[in-house]
Amino acid sequence: MKLLGIDYGEKRIGLATSTTEFGVSTPLCVLVNNIDTLNQIKKIATENRVGKIVIGLPLLKDGSESDICKKVRDFAKKVEEAINIPVVLQNEHLTSWEAEQYIKETMRIKEPSKIKDMIDKVSASMILNTYMGTKPL
């Protein structure tokens, strides 16, 4: 079953896909979070024959919920209702920071604008990898 990983943000949403539930994920794209976001996610999920959606839940280091967790939970509920695909939440503590480090060190990208463009989709990929129990990228 293919998975779609989502790194939710109030302005931008990163997406990644996996080949199977136990495979490796691939960063896909970044969407602007707006009124059409659910339609865009539905189209991407349909095109990629996604069977489950994994959305990152930004828990704090101690496992408690951050301020944005309620928004993520509300978003996850809307996604599941609109797309009719099972949605699960995955702890994503520090994935944006890890994605930025990965981009800088492994991909050797130094330009801040290019790094910013990639962080959300790489974070979505890391969320999927964590869910699948595989190593990052």
The full set of domain ranges for the chain reads 2-132
Topology of the domain comprising 2-132: Nucleotidyltransferase; domain 5 (3.30.420)
- pLDDT band of 24, cuts 50, 70, 90: confident
Q: What is the pLDDT of residue 135?
A: 45
How far are the Cα atoms of 1, 22, 30 from residue 44, in angstroms, in the given order? Answer: 15, 20, 12
Q: Rounded to the nearest 5°, which phi and psi values hold at 121? A: -75, -30
Provide the pLDDT for residue 97: 67
- Distance of alpha carbon 85 from the chain centroid: 16
Residue 53 is inside which H or E element, if any? strand 50-57
Average pLDDT over residues 18-36: 87
Q: Is residue 10 pLDDT above 80, yes or no? A: yes
Is pLDDT larger for residue 5 or for residue 110? 5
